[in-house]
Structures are given as structure tokens and as C-alpha cells.
Amino acid sequence: MTSAPPRAEALSLDQVTKTYERGGAAANRAISLTFQPGELIALIGHNGAGKTTLLSQIIGTVKPTSGDIRYGPSSLVAAPDLARRIASMMPQMYAPLTGVTPRQAITSIARLRGLSVADAKRAALDLIDALDIGEWKDTGGEKLSGGLRRLTSYAMAVVAPPPVLLVDEPTNDVDPVRRPLIWRHLRRLADDGHTVVVVTHNLLEVQRAADRYVLLQNGAVLVDNTPRQLAQQVRTAALTVSVRPGAEIPLTPPAAAHAVEDGQLTLDLEPAQIPAAIEWVLHLVDTGAADSYSLAPASLETLYEGITNGR
Ligand SMILES: Nc1ncnc2c1ncn2[C@@H]1O[C@H](COP(=O)(O)OP(=O)(O)OP(=O)(O)O)[C@@H](O)[C@H]1O
């Protein structure tokens, strides 16, 4: 099986709707999006928003109830075999690795995608290096940790990569050192001209690495924008203060929004309010009203709530 690799084309979704037979409400509602070769797109949304359903329809394991998915001029809904050739998907569940090592599993997939024995072995080792999992390359799959299984599943999805890569929560369970390795690798795939769609819940990673993000809510597209737009909304900071039980707060805080929870006072600050807030909190510490404080960028989860709850 050494046919020429399929050429890169735009992937367009036109009014894609999916209602599962026993599911009741639609899991995807009239989704229209176009993904271009070279784009790294983050697909985000709460649990049950319809992200996996969307990827499954692109790869052809779930058939849309209505609408079409095209790769260039060809309908993937009409030709699911084409979908399997042009796309690969890293599922949310671990790949079954019982009885095989990461190196064997990755090499076998590379062979199935048409590489020669030598090229498949090389491609597998290159990925093992890129993900820094060489220490476990010959360890039986059943002995691997969750994070290592996830990394191996990722490598299986992207070895000898077809034009479209659909990756469902690749950094879940993965340690903080290797998470950026995955994102760096995804970036390289996009820069090489692949269309890369990544489901993630980590907005910081989206901000750092993606070209574009699509936020799904209740199966529909709520936002389709650049991470720059996300960044504009997280310039605010959060000042968290541990207030002594029963202490009087001597001065009015410089920001209106605050909440007390278990002795913790939280102020959401605009950048211009930060100097006054620091002066205020130092006064609280000096007078013994507060034990400690921390200033940090506002949580992206808060932003996430803000985007989705306001609509
Ligand atoms: N095979 C199925 N049969 C019936 N309903 C399903 C099926 N798969 C998903 N659903 C429902 O479709 C909706 C969307 O699910 P989906 O898994 O696509 O969401 P998701 O955004 O990927 O969620 P998560 O972040 O939890 O993985 C949910 O209400 C889910 O319960």
C-alpha cells in the first residue's frame, strides 16, 4: 500500500447536524466551518458540548443526521473510505496497548499508513524522541501509566500523518514537561501544511499554541475567533487575600467586584487598578487584617465561564 499521499484541501462543514437515535437533543446543530491546510484549530467547550461528535463525523465513524462534510470537492459523508485516507483521529479513550510496546504500536500504524519497514521504524523513533518517551519505548503497554498511554496514542495518531489530524484531548494525564512537547509537535504538523483540530479544555494552551479556536455550546458554534481575542479578555488579574477571622477591613478595596469564601477575599482587577490594590493589600498585612495574598492573571476557567454563561 504505497499510493501517493492525498493532497491538502480545505475541510468544510456545511450545516452539520447530529441527533443520536436515543440521545434526544441534537449533539451538533447546523455547524458550518471551514478548516484550511496549515491551521491549528482548538475545539473547546464544556463536557457534552459536542466536540467528539464533530470529530467522529469528520472521520466517518458517526454519520451526520443532516448536512455535509467536504474535503475539497469531495463529500466525506458520501465516501467514508476517503475520510479514513485523508484523516486520522486520536480518540479520547486510550488505544488498546495490551501485549505491545509503544515502539511496536507506533511502527505498526506507520506501516499501515504505507511506510516501508525502515521508514516506519525511523518515524516511530523520531516521535518517541519528540515526545521524550524513549525510556518506555520497549515497555509492555499494560505496564504504562495513563500519561504514557496517552502519549503513545498521540504518536499512533500522528505518525506518517495524513492531511487532516483530529486529536481529542491529547494532553490529558500528561505531565507538565511533556504537554508543551505535544503542542510543539502539533504546531510543526500545522506548519508542514496539515489541518490540525485539537479538542482541549486548557485555554492557556489554546492561547499559546493555536491559530484559531472554536467554542461549542450545546452542539452549536458559539465563538470562532483567534486566541488573541481570548488574550484581550484575560488581561485582568485576580488578587486573593487571606483575611484573619473576624478582622476589620480598614480601607475600601480598590475594585468593586469581590467575594469572600472561607476567609478568602478575591478582587478581579483591571490592569490600572493593580498598583492601588497592592498598596491596599500591603496595608491589610501591616495592620494584621490579612495573613497573606497572591496576585495572579485571572483564571482562564473564569473567562471560560464568562464566555459561556453570558449567552
Ligand atoms: N453514542 C451516543 N449515543 C447517544 N448520545 C450520545 C452519544 N455520544 C454522545 N452523545 C451525547 O451527545 C452530546 C455530545 O457529546 P460529545 O461526546 O460529542 O461531547 P463532548 O463535547 O466531546 O464532551 P466531553 O468534553 O465530555 O468529551 C452529549 O449530550 C452526549 O451525551
pLDDT exceeds 70 at position 102:
yes
- Cβ(23) to ligand 1 under 6 A? yes
Residue-averaged pLDDT of the chain: 88
What single-letter DSSP state applies at residue 125? H
The predicted-structure confidence for 138-148, as pLDDT tens digits, reads as follows 999 999 999 99
Q: Please state the φ and ψ torsions of residue 86, each to the nearest 5 degrees.
A: -90, -15
User: Quick one: pLDDT at residue 311?
Assistant: 53
Q: Span 31-44, mean pLDDT?
A: 97
pLDDT exceeds 90 at position 2:
no
Q: Separation of 239 CA from ligand 1 center, angstroms? A: 37
- Cβ(44) to ligand 1 under 6 A? no
Q: Which three cell numbers stand for residue 1?
A: 500500500
Give start and end residues of each alpha helix (H) in 131-273: 146-158, 179-191, 203-209, 227-233
Where do the structural domains in the chain lie, given as residue ranges?
A: 11-232, 234-309
Q: Please state the φ and ψ torsions of residue 199, each to the nearest 5 degrees.
A: -85, 130
Q: Which residues contact 189 (CB under 8 A, 6 or more apart)?
A: 40, 158, 161, 165, 196
Give the homologous superfamily in CATH for domain 11-232. Answer: P-loop containing nucleotide triphosphate hydrolases (3.40.50.300)
Atom of ligand 1 nearest to the CA of 53: 18
Q: Span 175-193, mean pLDDT?
A: 95
Atom of ligand 1 nearest to the CA of 49: 21
C-alpha distances in angstroms, 245 versus 85, 261, 280, 288, 295? 63, 12, 18, 11, 21
User: Quick one: pLDDT at residue 201?
Assistant: 83
Q: Span 160-180, mean pLDDT?
A: 93
What single-letter DSSP state applies at residue 219? T
Tell me how long the chain is: 311
In the chain, what percentage of residues exceed pLDDT 90? Answer: 61
User: Quick one: pLDDT at residue 97?
Assistant: 86
The predicted-structure confidence for 254-283, as pLDDT tens digits, reads as follows 775 566 667 788 887 776 788 888 999 999
C-alpha distances in angstroms, 147 versus 2, 63, 74, 311? 33, 31, 37, 35
The crossing angle, in degrees rounded to 10, of helices 117-130 and 179-191 is 130
The answer to whether the beta carbons of residues 176 and 132 sit under 8 Å apart is: no
Ligand 1 pocket: which of 47, 53, 199, 304 to mutate (most atoms <8 Å of CB)?
53
1 — pLDDT class (breaks 50, 70, 90): very low
Ligand 1 atom 25, closest CA: 47
Q: Span 195-202, mean pLDDT?
A: 93
The predicted-structure confidence for 110-132, as pLDDT tens digits, reads as follows 999 999 999 999 999 999 999 99
Ligand 1 pocket: which of 52, 54, 215, 304 to mutate (most atoms <8 Å of CB)?
52
CA 131 to CA 22: how far, in whole Å? 40
Handedness of CA 31, 36, 37, 39 (dihedral sign): negative
The predicted-structure confidence for 277-304, as pLDDT tens digits, reads as follows 899 999 989 998 898 999 876 655 666 6
User: Quick one: pLDDT at residue 261?
Assistant: 67
Surface-to-core class of residue 7, CB atoms within 10 Å of its CB (0-12 exposed, 13-18 middle, 19+ buried): exposed
Q: Span 237-251, mean pLDDT?
A: 80
249 — pLDDT class (breaks 50, 70, 90): confident
61-65, 122-126, 206-210, 290-294 — which is least confidently predicted?
A: 206-210
User: Quick one: pLDDT at residue 3?
Assistant: 58
- Cβ(22) to ligand 1 under 6 A? yes
